[in-house]
Amino acid sequence: MRYRLLPVLVLVLSACGGGSASSPEPSLAATTPEGAVRLFFQAVADSNVAGMARLWGTSNGPALVTGKPADYARRMEVTQLFLRNSPYRVTASTPSAAGSDQRDVQVELDRTDLDGKRCVRTISAVVVNAGKHGWIVEAIDLNQAGTPGRSCAGGAVPAEG
């Protein structure tokens, strides 16, 4: 009886082994600036802080790969708090004054405040080409997003519908 369980135990243990937790997911490499923003916002919606860190960084690479800045995980957590539960739409992508490896991507957030009022806020994202890592988000102006749950006043446009 003991020997009948051995093959099952070996099978279970072999199924538990495998990939490295730090290897980048190929599906998260963005081939366009707009795609980088969409993947980043999907990681936000999924509460996937590691996925966000694979899509955020500098032209040197994603924060998850470079480890810079040292507090990148905390920055991703704060960003996730500001952007979660906000349907979004990429509305524009323009060349940046900084060069061809950088784009400015505009995103509309559909927000609801504590009073149930809906509004649309437009935020800017700077996206850079990080070579083999694809396009990644370098900066998002969270000030433009407004404080979650607070009044939609201050630069927000009332949502239709």
Q: Which domains does the chain have, with CATH numbers?
A: 28-158 (3.10.450.50)
Residue 134: the pLDDT is: 95
Residue 150: the pLDDT is: 75
- Angle formed by the axes of helices 72-83 and 33-45, nearest 10°: 80
Query: Which CA distances in Å does 142 have to 10, 125, 136?
Result: 50, 9, 17
pLDDT tens profile 9-55: 333 333 333 333 333 444 567 999 999 999 999 999 999 999 999 99
Residue 9: the pLDDT is: 33
Residue 21: the pLDDT is: 37
Residue 153: the pLDDT is: 67
List the Cα angle 152/95/79 in 5-degree steps: 40
CA distance 83 to 149: 11
Residue 147: the pLDDT is: 80
Side-chain-side CA neighbours of 150 within 13 Å: the count stands at 12
CA distance 144 to 121: 7
Residue 140: the pLDDT is: 95
Global confidence as pTM: 0.77
Residue 160: the pLDDT is: 60
Residue 15: the pLDDT is: 36
Inter-residue contact 106 to 93 (CB < 8 Å): yes
Residue 155: the pLDDT is: 55
Q: For the chain, which ranges sit under pLDDT 50?
A: 1-26
